[in-house]
Structure 1
Amino acid sequence: MHAVVVTQPGGPEVLTYCEVDKPVVKPGWSLIKVRGFGINHSEVFTREGLSPTVHFPRILGIEVVGEIADSTLPEQLPVGQTVLSFMGEMGRDYDGSYAEYVLLPNDQIYPVQTTLTWAELAAIPETGYTAYGALLGLRLQAHDQLLIRGGTSGVGVTATKLAHAMAADVTVTSTTRRVGKSDQLKAVGVDEVLVGGEDPLPETAHFDKILDLIGPKTVKDSLQHLKPNGIVSSTGELGGQWNLEDFEPIAAIPNNCYLTSFYSGDVDRQVLQALLDLIATKKVDMAPTQVFSLPEVAAAHRQIESTHGFGKLVVVI
């Protein structure tokens, strides 16, 4: 089969399109014919050698959409069944989705019912589930004023679309570091744009709910811009900071306000199908920003790393 292999850490040029052996099923694992996958920032970090547990050579890719090609659990995962998978240790401890076929543990494969195209479905697994789960955790309600910090990211764009589908008359404000992306944000449903990114929010700006995708770098500032009974979800680390430092909860969290998060590695199959049903019922536009082919994975990495990046990039085979 064809795959994109990394033999040593480095820039996008280390992503090598080549022929490798097609995986063979083993007990407890099934083979997926890859139809598509999204490109994720965590895969860039792994490619650069910043994931210390990952050893090369490795086929990257932490998410996949496709069809069962060979199954060791035919009752639940029959050949031809449409499936999704993401997270776990795929693309890290064992080879991932940057290939024509991927071998995965059965308990990490999620059968779904959907009429979405492969490109639309490829935009969903890690990104859509994260956005949806975080919005559920924010307890989004009608007429809420929602702020998304890091709104031009794949999760940010998807959260904007889902928020309008989940609650009536929600007002979505999004941050961006570049004023030139304001029109793109408004085109996907953002009502107001704040230019600044990781900068402190304007002193007078307050929101019912804040989805902070910048993460620990900005979450203390986000907490100070909540309305009474407001919630911050720190779900993401786009700011490049992994931990909250010098965080004293009594001082940092205002009275009657709340801090939560969402981890996409804990996958609830019913929530995943509910997301797909919401997309179908509300006719949410899940078209990715750009679609690449398997030989173009290096180009997709260059795009996600560029200042021109916006929304979700996917590969379709």
Structure 2
Amino acid sequence: MKAIEITRPGGPEVLAFCDRPMPQLGPDDVLIRVKAAAVNRPDVQQRRGLYPPPPGATDLPGLDVSGVIEQVGANVTQWQAGDEVCALVNGGGYAEFCAVPALQCMPLPKGSSFVEAAALPEAFFTAWNNVIWLGRLSDGETLLVQGGTSGVGMAAIQMAKQLRGARVIATAGTDEKQSKCREIGADITVSYRGDWVADVVAAIGKEKVDVVLDGQAGPYTEKQLQLLAPDGRVVLIASHLGEMAEVNVRNIVRRRLTLTGSTLRPRPATYKGRIASELVEQVWPLIESGRIQNHICATFDWRDVRDAHALMDAGEQVGKVVLRVEAI
């Protein structure tokens, strides 16, 4: 099969087509003929040499796909050849075929194209895992989303509003991006290029945030802990501003705060399968009814994967970037 590999750490120019053997199909897996694959921040970090795949995973990038099931493993009963699915994968999405645990597959939401469906898994799995499960967002609480126009940020804003009736604060770098956050449900938006802490406090007061979803860490960490209400939670999904942070532990103890984080990729298929089931049950109907919108910034033929990664490097995208995978 044809696939796109990372030839060495570097910029978009290190991405190149290659010939690879077909993926090995385990008894609990399905083989997907890929129609579309999303481009995600972890793909960019892997390309730069900063995010190696976990043990046992392919070195090919690509964490979510949509397509048609070509073959099923011996133990798989819930899917059959010809089914149209989207899936969170452990790697290997930038290829004509991808093997994935059957539990991580979901049907395409009714009315969604392959391109639209490919934009869903990584963003919605991540938002669900970190906001709903780890963040334990409850009805009517306040959520702060750092980077509201990322794929994960947009998923988090919409799920928090539609499923929890939360008050949502989102940060974004431009007026256009702040407007998009408000359009999809954010109640308050502030620029992370300014004094975002002061802006949040001015809008809602001190110690009023219940949950923070953040991928920056570093110097943001203590600032976010200071914003939390008693029993509040900060959930980290990356550390783009630094892997070290100085925090006031006494403050954490005194106000019963939680500082946690997660990486979803190394989790077992059973864990991801539980998320998949809950998404299909609770989120897919909202997508099908239009109450949750799927936002795609740009679509590229996978021959233009370097252009897609250049767009990600520029950091100006609003929503997801998706590759159309065509036979070569």
Scaled by the length of structure 1, the TM-score of the pair is 0.82
Q: Identify the residue that residue 183 of structure 2 maps to in structure 1.
A: 187
Matched, 1:152 2:153: no
Q: Secondary structure at the match of 1:299?
A: helix
Pick aligned residue for 2:279 from 272, 282, 292: 272
Q: How many residues align?
A: 305
* Deviation of the 1:303 alpha carbon: 0.8
Q: Secondary structure at the match of 1:165?
A: helix
What one-letter code is carried by the residue in structure 2 that aligns with 1:162? Answer: M
* Deviation of the 1:306 alpha carbon: 0.6
Deviates more, 1:271-280 or 1:215-224: 271-280
Gaps of 5+ in 2: none
Q: Identify the residue that residue 208 of structure 1 maps to in structure 2.
A: 209
Deviating above 6 A after TM superposition, structure 1's stretches of 4 or more consecutive aligned residues are: none
Cα pair distance change 1:263/1:49, threshold 3 Å: closer
Identical-pair percentage: 24
Matched, 1:314 2:311: no
Is this contact kept in 2: 1:219–1:234, CA < 8 A? no
Cα pair distance change 1:233/1:278, threshold 3 Å: farther
Is this contact kept in 1: 2:222–2:245, CA < 8 A? no
* Deviation of the 1:198 alpha carbon: 8.8
Is this contact kept in 1: 2:66–2:84, CA < 8 A? yes
Is this contact kept in 1: 2:252–2:258, CA < 8 A? no
Matched, 1:13 2:8: no
Q: Identify the residue that residue 310 of structure 2 maps to in structure 1.
A: 302
Per-residue CA deviation, residues 77-125 of structure 1 (Å, 9 max, x unaligned), is: 311223343254x2xxxxx011221234x35642436313222211111
Is this contact kept in 1: 2:296–2:318, CA < 8 A? no
* Deviation of the 1:199 alpha carbon: 5.5
Per-residue CA deviation, residues 129-162 of structure 1 (Å, 9 max, x unaligned), is: 1112323133434443322112222111221122
Cα pair distance change 1:209/1:215, threshold 3 Å: farther
Matched, 1:50 2:50: yes
Q: Identify the residue that residue 120 of structure 2 maps to in structure 1.
A: 124
Matched residues in 1 for 2:186 and 2:125: separation?
Answer: 20
- 1:72-151 paired onto structure 2 within 5 Å: 72-73=73-74, 74-88=76-90, 90=91, 96-104=92-100, 106=101, 109-112=104-107, 114-115=109-110, 116-137=112-133, 138-151=135-148
* Deviation of the 1:262 alpha carbon: 4.8
Pick aligned residue for 2:229 from 227, 230, 234: 227
Per-residue CA deviation, residues 30-83 of structure 1 (Å, 9 max, x unaligned), is: 42111222211111111122235689x943112222221122235233112233
- How large is the RMSD of aligned CA atoms in angstroms? 3.0
Higher relative helix content: 2
Gaps of 5+ in 1: 91-95
Pick aligned residue for 1:290 from 298, 304, 326: 298
Q: Identify the residue that residue 67 of structure 1 maps to in structure 2.
A: 68
Q: Identify the residue that residue 36 of structure 2 maps to in structure 1.
A: 36
Matched residues in 1 for 2:84 and 2:297: separation?
Answer: 23
Is this contact kept in 1: 2:170–2:188, CA < 8 A? yes
What one-letter code is carried by the residue in structure 2 that aligns with 1:114? Answer: P
* Deviation of the 1:255 alpha carbon: 1.2
Per-residue CA deviation, residues 225-278 of structure 1 (Å, 9 max, x unaligned), is: 12344x223232253434x54446333455144444454344114223233244
Is this contact kept in 2: 1:4–1:15, CA < 8 A? yes
